[in-house]
Structure 1
Amino acid sequence: MPYHHQKRIYIPTNARSNQYILAEIRVTDELLGGYDDVQDAYRQLSQTVFSLADKQEIHNIQIIANDKLPVVRFHTEAYSFETAEQIRFFYNPAYHEAQNLFATAGHRARKLRLVFLATGSELRSNSATFHAKVQYFMDSLLPLLPATGLAVKIRDHQHLSYDFFTKAKGNKETYGYKLRAIDKRYQARGCQLPQEHSALNYVTVSLPLSRKLKQRILPEGMTDFTPLYQYLEDKFLSAASTKQLSRLAMVANGLTPIVRNSKFETLESTAELQMIGFDPNATEQQFSRHWQGDKLAEAAHFAIVAGPKDCDDGGYGRFMNQVEEALRSFANEIDMDKEHEDLILRFHQHISYRR
């Protein structure tokens, strides 16, 4: 492939783009001290937040005051549902707008999480403008709160998602992306980020464990699923190694995989969340395995993390081309039916800093 083409990745035109920004405010006694009780504090604080959002034309903002983790996905219908540890938001950025407070009676949150869901069209092109808008919002909000010196952490999450087999299903049209790091994109558009910030870029892949796949690998009636998981792990690692992809994970234990930078984040898995830590600057092989032979999961999830050499100008295009070539080999090795099965790929870009 010519070098200039390596800098671009050709993604289906029906790919979905998402962006949400998480502003985390540590809850202190001073923040809650001026109210009758915790629930009253959350209600009044949310009114302050929503009123300011209306004035500054931020159209979709959610407040999480029960320490649950937000998970954001595209959907043609807008809805959210809570589990014990997560709040999953489904929406279409083109036309869904909302303001909601999520709190649990009697629970004092460790952090208030403000979730800013990007709205409109061309989210990736407008991501710097949206980020600057959230920065201005937070600068305007903090003086309105009944506490001083509040610590705030900003996390900007962006991803492109698509079915890797969409072309086999008849959608031949693609668009060429020259993927760039968030900080470089923002700098070019006049959105300033602190010099001290953490970035992580990676791909996740979701593979449903179909009946056909299980029947091909497992003897009938077998309740030890180790051969299935080991088969998928071996094929995945083999395909990745041919493209020099060395920061890898496989999760097939029924938990939601969450990828974090192990240098900056405290990693603690829970009953619902499988935390996976990577140091993107480390040069040695990193592989994280999370499956149990006595438990059958509905899907296997794989993660491939970008390294330092992928972060230069146009580097993510080369990285994504390597990922796609590895996945093409992996899908062929496990004999997937491209016309009838899905292999959902998401390219994630995260950046975080304290403000």
Structure 2
Amino acid sequence: MASMTLNRVYIPTNARNNQYILAEFKPSEEFYDCFDDLQSCYERLARQLFALCDEYELHNVHFIANDKLPVVRFHEESYCLQTQKQMLFFYNPKYHEAHKSYWEEGVKARKITLLFLATGSDIRANAAHFHGKVKRTLEALLETSKNIGENALRIRDHQHLTYDIFAKAKGNKESYGYKLRSLYPRYQARNCSLPDEHSEMTYATFSLPVTRALKTEYQHLLRPGDYSQFYKHIEDIFLSGCADKQLSLCAFVADGRLPLVRNSQIDKTSENSELQKLSFDTESDEVQITSVWDGEKLVDTMNFVIVAHASNKKDMGYGRFMNSVESVIHSFATKLHINPAKQDVNVRFFQHISYQF
């Protein structure tokens, strides 16, 4: 019984599940030459996509041809915000549906992205079924638009489980024990076949706002124009907590950029004005730590990432890994004197799987 408890993580029942799938390809010049102009290219592809989505009952799908990264988050209201580098989609899977297209007139996209958002309830339980519907839709789209098939199509399935680690302190006592099995065996068990050659990433993130209380607590480390000592102190507490739990793949990002986690065998660490790509080799036994902060700038929010090593992948799932992550966060919050009854610390458990379609 004790072993079973160690392999389960108890997450509050008000946790939010989310799933979305990206199908991406880089169109060649020959691809664009098949159409009279860009407008007709995008309109025709979007029309074919949405017709098939109606047929396969996919109710929230977006055609994106503007080279921006889709970022998906839960919200009670549905809306899309665009920055120079990102498209931020906010929605509630239970209620919101849409078929929309986004492109810049006269601009050839370097990458075309089809974004499929899961809808309904029991998102995690129905994840394999949703993935299967997306696969059938893409197979049909490749039949109707054979020129897409001439370009390498990559599938990326993203699943999030988001919750306040201090939910119990706020009166949300009910929890559910998750084993957090990896995606590949979960899908295989539900008759959703995936290629043997695929890439998986599992990790957790949490963020901490730089509140007035935190500034007051560490005012002796906060000098106008020089916040290095403050960041180093936060970094030391976080990294020592990770080391205590033998978590060797981690990152601290506090420069205003959004951290993105990638497999180093596919993507290399890079950055732009809004995004910080973090690449990890989950097979390597080397300690991989990334700290990115600007000592001259005090950010509004600090971001923390803990990535699961290949050795954290158990037959039972990632429950033991997440218990270690939660221990790190609780210890971290205690040392920073964060009040669990008044402040949320939202944890996101991510599972990604990608493959060539």
TM-score (normalizing by structure 2): 0.97
Judge conservation of contact 2:165–2:344 (CA < 8 Å) in 1. Answer: yes
**Aligned-partner Cα distance in 1 for 2:246–2:187:** 29
Q: 2-side partners of 1:310 and 1:266: how far apart?
A: 22
Q: Which residue of 1 aligns with 2:345?
A: 343
Unaligned residue ranges in structure 1 (runs of 5+): none
Q: How far apart, CA to CA, are the structure 1 residues paired with 2:349 and 2:6?
A: 16
Does the alignment pair 1:192 with 2:193?
Answer: yes
What's the CA shift for 1:25?
2.0
Shift of 1:340: 1.2
What residue number does 1:297 align with?
A: 299
Which 5+ residue runs of structure 2 have no aligned equivalent?
Answer: none
Q: How many residues align?
A: 355
- In structure 2, how many angstroms separate the alpha carbons of the residues matched to 1:252 and 1:345? 17
- Which residue identity does 2:166 align to in structure 1? F
Corresponding letter in the other structure for 1:58:
L
Q: Which moved more, 1:171-180 or 1:222-231?
A: 222-231
CA distance, structure 2, for counterparts of residue 254 and residue 330 of structure 1 = 21
Question: What's 1:162 paired with?
Answer: 163
2: CA distance between counterparts of 1:322 and 1:34? Answer: 53
1:231, distance to aligned residue in structure 2 (A): 1.0
Is the 8 Å Cα contact of residues 218 and 225 (structure 1) preserved in structure 2?
no
Question: 2:290 matched to which residue of 1?
Answer: 288
Q: How does 1:222-261 map to 2 (within 5 A)?
A: 222-261=224-263
Residues 1-10 or 330-339, more deviating: 1-10
Match of 1:308 in 2: 310
The more displaced of 104-113 and 93-102 is: 104-113
Partner residue of 1:180? Answer: 181
DSSP-derived class of the 1:3 partner: helix
The answer to whether the 8 A contact 2:82-2:88 is kept is yes
Judge conservation of contact 1:31–1:145 (CA < 8 Å) in 2.
Answer: no
Provide the secondary structure at the position in 2 that maps to 1:318: helix
How far does residue 268 in structure 1 lie from its aligned partner after superposition?
Answer: 2.5
Measured on the aligned residues, the alpha-carbon RMSD in Å equals 1.3
1:51-91 per-residue CA deviation (whole Å, 9 max, x = no partner) reads 11111111110111001000001111111110000000000
Paired position in structure 2 for 1:4: 4
Q: Deviations over 1:296-338 (max 9, x none)?
A: 1111100000011211212400000011111111110111011
Q: Aligned AA for 2:241?
A: A
- Give the partner amino acid of 1:271: S
- Any residues of structure 2 matched to 1:126-141 within 5 Å, and which? 126-141=126-141
The match for 2:82 is 82
Distance 1:270 1:306 in 2: 25
The 3-state SS of whatever aligns with 1:140 is helix
- Does structure 2 conserve the Cα–Cα contact (< 8 Å) formed by 1:31 and 1:146? no
Q: Is the 8 A contact 1:30 1:146 kept in 2?
A: no
Alpha-carbon displacement from aligned partner over 1:144-181 (angstroms, at most 9, x marks no partner): 11515231000000010011111111111111111100
Contact 1:34–1:146 (8 Å) recurs in 2: no
Helix, strand or coil at the partner of 1:168: helix
Match for residue 125 of structure 2? Answer: 125
Kept in 2: contact 1:53–1:59 (CA 8 A): yes
Query: Residue type matched to 1:53 in 2?
Result: C
Residues 241 and 332 of structure 2 are in contact (CA less than 8 Å); yes or no, is this contact kept in structure 1?
yes
Is this contact kept in 1: 2:160–2:350, CA < 8 A?
Answer: yes
Secondary structure at 1:204 match in 2: strand
Does 2:60 correspond to 1:64?
no
Matches within 5 A, 1:7-18: 7-18=7-18
Structure 1 distance, partners of 2:9, 2:247, is 17
d(CA) in 1 for partners of 2:26 and 2:251?
31
SS at match of 2:282: coil
Structure 1 residues 216 and 99: alpha-carbon distance in aligned structure 2, compared to 1, 3 A threshold:
same
CA deviation vs aligned residue, 1:104-143 (integer Å, no higher than 9, x gap): 1221111110000001110111001111111111111012
1:205 paired residue number: 206
Q: Alignment partner of 1:245: what SS?
A: coil
Rounded to whole Å, the distance in 2 between the matches of 1:317 and 1:58 is 31
Q: Is the 8 A contact 1:155 1:353 kept in 2?
A: yes
State the alpha-carbon separation in 2 of the partners of residues 139 and 177 from structure 1.
Answer: 33
Q: Distance in 2 between matches of 1:295 and 1:331?
A: 23
Give me the whole-angstrom Cα distance separating, in 2, the residues matched to 1:240 and 1:327. Answer: 9
Alpha carbons 2:268, 2:277 under 8 Å: kept: no
Indicate if the aligned counterparts of 2:15 and 2:161 stay in contact, CA closer than 8 A: yes
Distance 2:224 2:91 in 1: 40
Q: Counterpart of 2:186 in 1: which secondary structure?
A: helix
